[in-house]
Structure 1
Amino acid sequence: MATPKDLDVHSQMVSYGTIGNVFRVDFTGLRALYNLMQDDSPIAQPAKELALNLMRKGPSMYARFHNDHLADALFTALTNRT
């Protein structure tokens, strides 16, 4: 299994008043993001769970920043990967 250090990723615990502690992950570029989201990454499953939980809550104040074209491209790439 790849580790965050192998993926050129930096992480830290941060706190937000509304939700408490959050594990923040910074990456150096799109290749690092791609590697980070692979199934063997320690981050992939928690990221999937976070996304699903946020979708279940419904729209947020950040909904205006959602990009349908980017989401379609990401889901298409993920579908073609299998």
Structure 2
Amino acid sequence: MKITIDIDCTPEEARAFLGLPDVAPMQKAAMEEIEKRMLSGLQSMDPETLYKTWLPGSMQGWEQFQKAFWNHFSGGGGRDGGSGREGNDS
């Protein structure tokens, strides 16, 4: 024997009938907190804040970074004291 029952009700009515808690207020509070955190995170994404975060405190620090970069790739600042591999062509 097979019995089919169709119940026409809203999700709120089904939750109340089954004794499940109403989580809508908790979801609303959680979404408001997430929105608040996202908006505060976006404020730190403005160009001036990113510039201050990513780059050193002064242009002198930036110049030191450039010098170290160029010294490294021009062979003047390698680990072996600047002696490159020029004599190993034989």
Greater fraction of residues in helix: 2
TM-score between the two structures when normalised by the length of structure 1? 0.24
Q: Point out which structure has higher relative CO (alpha carbons under 8 A, 6+ apart).
A: 1
TM-score between the two structures when normalised by the length of structure 2? 0.22
Higher Cα Rg, which structure: 2
Greater fraction of residues in strand: 1
